[in-house]
Structure 1
Amino acid sequence: MKIAPKVLDAFALATVDGHALRLPQLSRALYRECDIVLRAAGGCWNRRAKAHVFAEDPTVLLNEMRSSGTVVTDQDFGYYPTPPAVAVRLLELAELSPGLTVLEPSAGRGAVARSVAAAGCVVDCIELREHHAAVLQEESFARTVQVADFLTCTPQALYDRVVMNPPFARGTDIRHVEHARGFLKDDGLLVAVMSAGATFHKSRAATEFRATVEQSGGFFEELPEKSFQSSGTLNSTVIVVIPGEQRTAAVPARREGEAPPAHRDEQLRSPMDIARDILRDLHEAQEQMQALMDDLGNSFDT
């Protein structure tokens, strides 16, 4: 996000006291512009302190904004906090119980991990952005908080559960979920929020991922439309559940000559269900085409 010169001028007059940043007396319009930038940078207005309060000393951040004229927002990193209703469903599908070890990669500010810890589980968090990690460390509900790019972390199959809400852009969610499987015990369970595109995109990565989910005995569950509206995106989302290898292998024994049980995706479906799926896919394809046309139009306008 580019920062207007008048906002940068106001920041030059700001004062920092610990984690608090105080602006000088400004016009209402200019204050609003400054507030947008500071919130995007991770600051929260604190009425009692009469300042924007950050998870850490904002001096370095303030200097970076003034020198670059830009601020990197959480959304630039694909961060959209998990809404409470989605977090509840994630935890239900994760089948948590006290004492389980749980990894939360891309933990953000702990919208999911905090609830996992409250369920009596031992939680380890990985988070890319330092100011988010500082929030996790300060609250002390996690056993460990590692500041790192999750995709660069070496997999170790140490966890009973992996519960996650990864970034979605350009198939990043698929890469994150695939990488996360390497951290799961053989009898564990991975539960993740994903873009709905993972269930229908024709790309090689998406096609292979769907095959992996099916072969593992996993499944997708659609989330209600606009589930992430409160977090700033209208993207359609799903939850994927992927069991570990031993969990998949633990199927009931069959008597000789008995037909195997039908997989949930192999059961016969009614023509009306099939027609509804086709119409939904057509509608989503039309929305994507319209978004592409809008982007092209905006490019020509500028």
Structure 2
Amino acid sequence: MKVPTTILEVLDRAETNGPRLILTGQLDRKLYTDTAKVLEAAGGKWNRKERAHLFPGDAAEAIEPVILTGEIVSKKQEFGYFPTPAPVVQRLIDLADLKPGMTVLEPSAGRGAIAGPIAALGCHVDCIELQRDNALAISDAGIGRDLAVADFLTVEPSPDYDRVVMNPPFAKQQDIAHVLHARRFLRPGGLLVAVMSAGVMFRHGRAEQFRQHVGSFEELPDGAFKESGTGVRTVIAVLPSAA
């Protein structure tokens, strides 16, 4: 069941508290009815006494996959690590305008799906990866110049890189935190290119503030990550260095 962006925006504005979800703002009758159908399909039931939709578990966790994928999913999905398909990697490379000899950082590098092709272009690639098994795969493949096994958000920024190219985790808008932290690793005049959840283009709060930093967005086709086992809707964000 595909969910229109107008409904996704309503879900993003909803107030949640444990199993309770309350719709906010002025909704016309059709938009309210259509949103209520989506909530019911996601497991929420209207409770007149509570004046809220009640879910069997945490309401925020129930609607987050809907916002990320733009559809009702039949099972809980995780939105952390998923390999970047080759066509998406190529588009990241194109938008990054990479040249041989450039220094490039890939945070949350997974198993090197992005770093490998970038290193093959003659760039000096450093990788940071939290999962030891993934980091070992990068090491065994001989990808890149330097590899750190660490939680990227705990790594102290140093503005040493011409480019940052990345596919961060998406759950609970982690992609925003990762991209803003990664931007601090850019040299003046550098460029960051990142796969992000499409929700960053319409969500409120943190996403609204984040959009002020973005140079451009490019929407990726529906199903761009299907081969990686996720239906998450994605965009590529391009950010210039802060300096």
Shorter-chain TM-score tier: 0.5 to 0.7
Q: Which has the larger radius of gyration?
A: 1
Identical columns (%): 57
Confirm or deny that 1:237 pairs with 2:238.
no
Amino acid at match of 2:209: E
Cα offsets for 1:220-275 (capped at 9, x unmatched)? 000011100000111110000011245xxxxxxxxxxxxxxxxxxxxxxxxxxxxx
Structure 2, unmatched stretches of 5+, are 1-76
Q: Distance between the aligned counterparts of 1:112 and 1:132, measured in 2?
A: 13
Specify the alignment match of 1:87 in structure 2: 89
Specify the alignment match of 1:223 in structure 2: 220
Does the residue aligned with 2:181 lie in a helix, a strand or coil? helix
Instruction: From the superposition, tell whether residues 81 and 180 of structure 1 become closer, same or farther in structure 2 (CA, over 3 Å).
Output: same
Does the residue aligned with 1:212 lie in a helix, a strand or coil? coil
Amino acid at match of 1:135: A
Specify the alignment match of 2:212 in structure 1: 211
Does the residue aligned with 2:212 lie in a helix, a strand or coil? helix
Amino acid at match of 1:78: G
Q: Distance between the aligned counterparts of 2:78 and 2:206, measured in 1?
A: 23
Q: Distance between the aligned counterparts of 1:206 and 1:177, measured in 2?
A: 12
Q: TM-score, normalization: structure 1?
A: 0.54
Q: TM-score, normalization: structure 2?
A: 0.67
Q: Distance between the aligned counterparts of 1:181 and 1:161, measured in 2?
A: 9
Amino acid at match of 1:241: V
Confirm or deny that 1:161 pairs with 2:163.
yes
- More strand by proportion, 1 or 2? 2
Specify the alignment match of 1:139 in structure 2: 141
Q: Distance between the aligned counterparts of 2:106 and 2:95, measured in 1?
A: 15
Specify the alignment match of 1:268 in structure 2: none
Amino acid at match of 2:104: V
Cα offsets for 1:29-86 (capped at 9, x unmatched)? xxxxxxxxxxxxxxxxxxxxxxxxxxxxxxxxxxxxxxxxxxxxxx857001000100
Specify the alignment match of 1:176 in structure 2: 178
The alignment covers a number of residue pairs equal to: 167
Higher relative contact order (CA 8 A, sep 6+): 2
Large movers: runs of 4+ above 6 Å: none
